[in-house]
Chain A
């Protein structure tokens, strides 16, 4: 099996480095600058599971090195269009695309471009970020989840990818109910991203406010109602787990979107919060907290666009 991974950030980079380390035929499709750095240094991973550096295969064009059985998309939602243009030449008739983006909005775009049959469902639970020298600073969870979106038995490429993940020590893998998992993750992310962004603090900071925990619970409820309207309400157990994690006094948990904002970077406002709010409206779900959060993110984007973040 041949795998192409677009991007070598925290998710794609960590996953691909582990696959390469385990002897799986993995290639990274990177921009020139990142490609030069990775070619020179290999992928440098700092991880609680052990630091390592591994030389990896790198291409800078989608039509090199193929054909690929699996193309993994680990870009941000706001980079989807350029990501599609980059991988298009690598996607043949028998290629399966495994997108690891947050939310749901990217499926419509990918389906329209490549046809739904070639697009699997996928998500990552890999926490980390890029360090100043392009190294991957992995900070904890290292799970992935992928599967068929239309209830069919998994195709061979996904079964092979599952085996490769197990060999590489990546948690998770093939998930028979990837749609539910996608909603579960989005509900979690929609809640924590909305709250950490609109409140500009960690879970512990938020819970320290009088109404902080109540606001988190309400926001979680808004997201759960949207998921329920789509037929994917999280189970009572999943919901209880989210609620306790997101209202933990002193909790250090924080959405990466807040880190992005504090660096003045681009944010996945639309795919994580805006699209959830839009679905709430369509489903007739009142979502006042998501509305505040999305307005906050849009005001941030407006201020960023006018160069007004440095005061």
Chain B
């Protein structure tokens, strides 16, 4: 099985690096500057599960080095269009695209471009970032990937092989029997966390210190749950109690990566993670006052960023 990973950034670099380390045939599609750095320094992973520096296979274009059985996409949603253009030459008949993006909207875009039969569902759960030097810094105790057929059928051979490779590599997770539910479960958690950390500009622990912080976070999770339920993917009480427990840790220093992005003044997946949840709520007739407030906050950030006003005094 041959796998192409688009980019060697935080998630793609970590996942692809671990698969490569355990003997899987992995190629990274990268830009020239990244290739040069990888050839010079190797792919450097610093991880709670052990550090490693290794040489990896790279290509500069999707037409090189194929054919591929799997094409893994780990881009940010706002880079999806350029990511599609980059991988398109690698997605030949028989290839399966495995997107590890947040949210759901990208699936429609990928289906339209490559055909629904060639796009599986997928997601990653991992705390990982890129250092300015290009090292992959994995900080969470876990590093999970989840993927599967979106119609709930048994995985096609390429996904079964990927599952075996994931298990061999020590990554958590693997082939999932109900990847759509897993996508919703992750989106509910992520949307709540991102919406709240950004709207309140603090960690979940900071928000808990506000008199009504916990109530506001729980309401937001409930808004997301209703949207999921309208799509037939209610996580149920068990799922929601996990979400609520996450937002109940006093003193938690955990914040959505979107908050770090806001504080660095970079682009954010506002439309994909929060805006699209609201759009689906509206279609289903669900009121989402908390998400609305948060989305306005994110749009204000983007407006201020667009006028060059981030990092300068507002006054």
Contacts and interface: CB of A to CB of B under 8 A. Distances in A.
A296 B201 contact: yes
Interface string B81-118: 00000000000000000000000000000000000000
B300 A212 contact: yes
B206 interface: yes
Contact of B209 (A205, A206, A298): A298
B202 A209 contact: no
Most buried by B among A196, A201, A204, A306: A201
B202 A205 contact: no
B210 interface: yes
Interface stretch (B119-127, B211-219, B226-234): B211-219
Given A292-B199, A299-B201, A209 B209 contact: no
Interface stretch (A11-19, A42-50, A98-106, A256-264): A256-264
B300 A289 contact: no
Contact of B313 (A200, A206, A259, A306): A259
Nearest to A211: B296
Given A259-B315, A262-B313, A292-B216, A302 B300 contact: no
Given A198-B297, A209-B296, A212-B300, A299 B200 contact: yes
Interface stretch (B10-18, B29-37, B136-144, B301-309): B301-309
Interface size, A (range) = 35 or more
A62 to B, nearest CB: 32
B207 interface: yes
A205 B303 contact: yes
Contact of A295 (B205, B213, B263, B307): B213
A298 B211 contact: yes
Interface in A191-240: 196, 198-202, 204-206, 208-212, 215
Contact of B206 (A211, A256, A302): A302
Given A254-B315, A259-B314, A298-B210, 7 more contacts: A200-B300, A205-B307, A208-B299, A209-B295, A262-B314, A289-B293, A303-B202
Interface of B: 199-203, 205-207, 209-213, 216, 260, 263, 289-290, 292-293, 295-297, 299-301, 303-304, 307, 309, 313-315
